[in-house]
Amino acid sequence: MKNQSETSPSPAKADNFFDLVFVSSYPPQGQIHGKGTVGVASYAKNTILSLSKAGPKKPKILVLAEKIPGEKEQYQEGNVTVIRCWQRNSFTALFEIFKIVKPLSAQKIVIEFEMAMLGNPASNIFFPVFLGILKLLGKKTFVVVHQVVLDFSQLSGHMGQSKESLKTKTLSLLAKIFFSLVVGLSDKVVVFEQFLKERLSELASAEKILVIPHGVEAYPITISQDQAREKLKLSKDNFILIIFGFLAWYKGTDWLAKQTADYLARIKDQNLKLIIAGGANPNHKDKPFYQKYINEIESLSKKYPKNIIITGFVDEAEIQSLYQAANIVVLPYRAGMSSSGPLAIAFTNHRPVLVSEPLSELFETKDIKDNLGQLGLHRDQITFSLSGKDFWQKVDGLRKDEKLREKAVLLAKLTVESRSWQKVGQAYYQLLIKE
């Protein structure tokens, strides 16, 4: 006889009462960060863990997640039942989810939304229909929007298109229609930053849109910078920049690699190292323009193999060592369309950050704005332009000014407190359980 963790998912097997149903990419059993999922997976797991501890009532939660090779299709993690019922890059994914949701008594459905979560972004055309049907069934839907893109000209290089192409203009129009429908058909929409709320409010009612800042994990730092560098075979004398996450045009990975290569060509600074902590995005690795993009970054690394280091995918156990080894975490995003998971990890590890102007709007979210004011730290001191020599001037500023570095570290520590997962969990508990 099979136990519950081994049974195949079906509507008949998912007939227990649940307080909440989450639809999301989800990490492998027992993990928070893992292979085979997209960025929303760790966020969803942290949300559920913190939400479960936030109030007197521990909710029963059902997670409907993507199938992962080697993972059980159904299992239990405390108060959470996970059913892996849908396949990425399948146009029937939302239908498979609906088959399980429809007969459930649970009325509250939380959907983590990222453009590529289902795989092929074209699958998103069915998402408003999915929300509409849930609304007709009397379900209350809460959509956590991880990315808000209304102008695809800002992402042209990410798609392998020109800014003025018909495809780019068409996608921008469709995006405005899409997000108008998502907000209109949802009971509440959650975004992570104030600028994202303002962007969506141009299309739909601001009353439906709630800002809950991206949570920051607060785990103990168990390794010093010297120990981390010894472990990674890096010199104590190195000045190390790090960029973390999948290699992506909109994240500016190639921009930072080229900036570093140009700098090394002018100034023979053998102590400067750039660590590109991440690998190719599995959602795009088969696309010719993305392969060309990866090759360009790899060629720069081969030109300066001792200074530009590409790690490939980083296991969860190695994340802290890489961050602790770094002097500065750099986020050279070409477009601000979301909060940043790598930024949250930088705060967790009490690292100074440098953020590009397109992403710097996140400093307008109340908690970070208040933290900057408390420290007397101006956002311009940790923000750089993607043109001219501004970037290296800001790097030199942090490199030479000890007081500025100390303020940047204190900003991280304050933000760990203001964006603790405990506080985020309480906000979700208030929204989803007490609401």
Instruction: Specify whether 208 is located in the same domain as 248.
Output: no
Both 161 and 302 in one domain: the answer is: no
Please give the C-alpha separations between residue 227 and each of 224, 230, 239, 351, in angstroms, as whole numbers.
Answer: 5, 5, 15, 16
Q: CATH no. for residue 42?
A: 3.40.50.2000
Single-letter residue type at 370: D
Given a cut of 60, whether residue 3 has pLDDT beyond it is: no
- Position 255 in a domain: yes
Q: Provide the mean pLDDT of the chain.
A: 90
311 and 396 fall within a common domain: yes
Residue-range definition of the domain harbouring residue 277: 225-418
* Cβ atoms of residues 411 and 371 within 8 Å: yes
Residue 286 lies in a domain: yes
Given a contact cutoff of 8 angstroms between Cβ atoms, the answer to whether 60 and 79 are in contact is: yes
Task: Report residue 377 as tokens.
Answer: 């730290």
Q: What is the pLDDT of residue 158?
A: 65
Distances (CA, A) of 82 to 4, 50, 97: 11, 17, 12
Statement: residue 9 has pLDDT above 70: no
Same domain, yes or no: 160 and 305:
no
Residue 273 inside a domain? The answer is yes
According to DSSP, the residues that pair with 210 across neighbouring strands are 190
- The residue ranking higher by pLDDT, 263 or 162, is 263
Q: Are 404 and 397 in contact (CB under 8 A)?
A: yes
Q: Are residues 132 and 103 in the same domain?
A: yes
pTM: 0.81
Residue 98 falls inside a structural domain: yes
Query: 220 in a domain, yes or no?
Result: no
Count of structural domains within the chain: 2
Position 79 in a domain: yes
By CB neighbour count within 10 A (0-12 exposed, 13-18 middle, 19+ buried), where does 433 fall?
Answer: middle
Q: Are 95 and 179 members of one domain?
A: yes
Question: 313 phi and psi, to 5 degrees?
Answer: -55, 135
- Are 394 and 326 members of one domain? yes
The pLDDT of 119-144, averaged and rounded, is 94
Burial class for 183, CB neighbours closer than 10 Å (0-12, 13-18, 19+):
buried
75's enclosing H/E stretch is: strand 74-77
**Which amino acid does the sequence have at 267?**
I
pLDDT (mean) for 413-425: 95
Q: What is the pLDDT of residue 283?
A: 67
Record the tokens describing residue 420, joined without a space. 């603790």
